[in-house]
Structure 1
Amino acid sequence: MTQFRAFIAGLVAVILVGAVPATAAEWKEFTPEALAQAQSEGKPILVDVFAPWCSVCRAQNPILTQLTREPKYKDLVVLKADFDTQKEQLKPLNVRSQSTLIVFKDGKELDRSVGDTSQLSIEGLLDKTL
C-alpha cells in the first residue's frame, strides 16, 4: 500500500509540473536538499504538505495551481511533500498534519496555515513571499 501511495504522489507531482506554464511558479517534489537549495538561492518558497486521501488537500490543490500560474509568482518555488511518505523529512519543519502550507522568504519561514481552503487567504499567504 505504501508503494501505491508513493506512486500516486509521484503521479500527482508529474501532472502538476506538466500543467504549469513557463511563466508560473516552479513546482518540484519536496526534499530537504531542494528546500535547502531554494533557501540558499534566496528564492521565495511554498512547501505544500498533502496526502492523497485528504479532502482538504484536494480542495487546496486547484487553488494553488491557479494562483501559482499568475506571473507575480514566477519566482516562487513550490515544493510538494507527501505527508504519509515523507514524515521523517518533514520533522525539521515541525509539520504535524497534511494540508499544511508553509511559506519562506530569504531563507526563513514567514508563515504557515493548516487546513485553509480560502483562495483569498491562501493568496495572502503566497503574497508574503513577494
Structure 2
Amino acid sequence: MPTRRSFLQMTAVLAAALPGRAAAAPFDEAAFEAAQAAGKPILVEVTAPWCPICKTQGPIIARLKAEPRFKDLQVFEIDFDSQKALLRRFDARMQSTLVVFKGRTEAGRSVGETQAEWIEALVEKAI
C-alpha cells in the first residue's frame, strides 16, 4: 500500500514531467493599471515553481490565450513565494489561485482548479 510519502514523491515526479508554464507576464503595476483603465480582460495567476496544480494550469491558460476570442486577455503572474505584498493585495492565500477582472472589477476567482472547462468558464467572465 502506498504511503503518504511515496504519494508526495510521485506527485513531485509527475509535476516535473508536465509541460512548462504559460507565457504570463510577471506582475507589473503600471501594465496592470493600464489594462484595467483600458477595460481589458485580465487574469492574475498566483503560481509557485514547485506547485503541480500551477504546472497543470499553465498549458490550459496558454491554450486559451491563443484562441481568437481571448486575444485581448492580459495575463499577470504573481510568485507565491516572493511577492507576499501582492498576495495580500489580491487576497490570495494559496498558490494556484486565478483571479479574473473585467476592467477594474473582479469578475471571479478560483483556487486549485485544473479542469480546462472550468478555467475557460472563469476566463470568459472577464470578456
- Bigger radius of gyration: 2
Alignment length, in residue pairs?
108
Match of 2:17 in 1: none
Matches of 1:118 and 1:37 in 2, distance apart? 30
State the Cα deviation string for residues 30-64 of structure 1 (Å, max 9, x = none): 13333222111211100011000001101111111
Matches of 2:29 and 2:72 in 1, distance apart? 19
Matches of 1:94 and 1:33 in 2, distance apart? 20
Partner secondary structure for residue 98 of structure 1: coil
Residue pair 1:31, 1:89 contacting (<8 A) in 2 also: no
- CA displacement at 1:126 relative to structure 2: 0.7
Is 1:103 the counterpart of 2:100 in the alignment? yes
Gaps of 5+ in 1: 1-11, 18-26
Identity rate of aligned residues, in percent? 46
- CA displacement at 1:90 relative to structure 2: 2.5
Match of 1:128 in 2: 125
What amino acid sits opposite 1:64 in the alignment? I
After TM superposition, the score normalised by the length of structure 1 is 0.77
Match of 2:45 in 1: 48
Match of 1:115 in 2: 112
CA RMSD of aligned residues (A): 1.5
Match of 1:36 in 2: 33
Partner secondary structure for residue 60 of structure 2: helix
Gaps of 5+ in 2: 1-19
Residue pair 2:78, 2:86 contacting (<8 A) in 1 also: no
